[in-house]
């Protein structure tokens, strides 16, 4: 997929027909032609945590890896639970009540669609990307009331990703079904075996994607 604009700015793609809002790391002429559904699921807001202090997601940083691929770093306001992020085989296998961070992949290719909360995106032009997405799911109960995933700053100051570089964009949505989702489109790989997520300090975790 050829991505024609720089990652130096955050773009917001409004899906006017459905009232949804998508946070994008880069706006491209290769964006999907069609988006079905509402990325915010009818304006659902993050519930107030019960028995725990809210822990807002503060920033997302995109960092290149010297051996290829990318690291996506999620930084929070306060320390995270010690349990590491868990891989799941697919979005359809997510637990009904998410209690920790999870991640999955969606495969790309001709005819493929990417599910972002209740919305489904397909019809990439002029050509579909070679990879689909890596998706991160964070319990909505961790977020403070009124949390909006599209307001989280994305720090891509490490470099300006060249056209055709990875990832293509990062799309945030939710809360939806008890989670906030960040979908990393056109990553270096959409094979779950090429993705690893782990805590790097008490208040942040990294998603490592290798080609």
**pLDDT tens digits, residue range 77-116?**
999 999 889 999 999 899 888 899 999 999 887 778 899 9
Worst-scoring range by mean pLDDT, 25-29, 166-170, 176-180? 25-29
pLDDT at 191: 95
Confirm whether 1 is domain-assigned.
no
Q: 124-152: per-residue pLDDT in tens?
A: 666 667 889 999 999 999 999 999 999 99
Confirm whether 2 is domain-assigned.
no
Residues 135, 106: contact at Cβ < 8 Å? Answer: yes
- Those residues whose C-beta lies under 8 Å from the C-beta of residue 51, and which sit 6 or more positions away, are none
Residue 153: pLDDT over 70 = yes
Mean pLDDT of 171-185: 93
Residue 120: pLDDT over 70 = yes
Tokens 């306001």 belong to residue = 77
Confirm whether 24 is domain-assigned.
yes
Q: Which domain holds residue 183?
A: 11-209
Confidence of residue 54 (pLDDT cuts 50, 70, 90): confident
Residue 158: pLDDT over 70 = no
Report the range out of 5-14, 126-135, 149-158 with the highest average pLDDT. 126-135
Confirm whether 26 is domain-assigned.
yes
Q: What span, in angstroms and rounded, lies between the C-alpha atoms of 73 and 80? A: 14
Q: What are phi and psi of 140, to 5 degrees?
A: -65, -30
Confirm whether 82 is domain-assigned.
yes
pLDDT at 156: 67
Residues 104, 98: contact at Cβ < 8 Å? Answer: no
pLDDT at 186: 86
pLDDT at 1: 40
Residue 122: pLDDT over 90 = no
| DSSP states along 71-107 | EEEEEESSPPPSSPPEE-S-GGG--SS--S-EEEEE-
Mean pLDDT of 47-58: 67
pLDDT at 97: 82
Confirm whether 109 is domain-assigned.
yes
% the chain with pLDDT above 70? 67
- What is the tally of structural domains in the chain? 1
Confidence of residue 10 (pLDDT cuts 50, 70, 90): very low
Mean pLDDT of the residues in the chain: 76
């Amino acid at each position: 997929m050829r991505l024609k604009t720089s990652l130096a700015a955050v773009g917001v793609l409004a899906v006017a027909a459905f009232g949804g809002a998508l946070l994008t790391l880069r706006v491209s002429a290769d964006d999907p032609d069609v988006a079905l559904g509402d990325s915010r699921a009818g304006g659902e807001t993050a519930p107030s945590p019960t028995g725990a202090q809210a822990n807002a997601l503060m920033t997302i940083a995109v960092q290149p890896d010297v051996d290829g691929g990318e690291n996506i770093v999620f930084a929070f306001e306060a320390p995270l639970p010690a349990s590491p992020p868990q891989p799941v085989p697919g979005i359809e296998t997510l637990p009904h009540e998410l209690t920790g961070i999870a991640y999955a992949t969606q495969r790309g290719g001709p005819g493929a669609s990417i599910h972002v909360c209740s919305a489904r995106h397909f019809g990439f032009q002029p050509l579909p990307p070679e990879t689909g997405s890596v998706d991160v799911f964070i319990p909505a109960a961790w977020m403070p009331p009124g949390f909006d995933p599209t307001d989280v700053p994305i720090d891509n100051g490490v470099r300006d990703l060249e056209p055709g570089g990875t990832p293509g964009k990062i799309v945030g949505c939710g809360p939806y079904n008890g989670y906030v989702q960040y979908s990393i489109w056109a990553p270096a790989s959409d094979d779950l075996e090429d993705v690893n997520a782990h805590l790097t300090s008490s208040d942040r975790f990294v998603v490592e994607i290798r080609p």
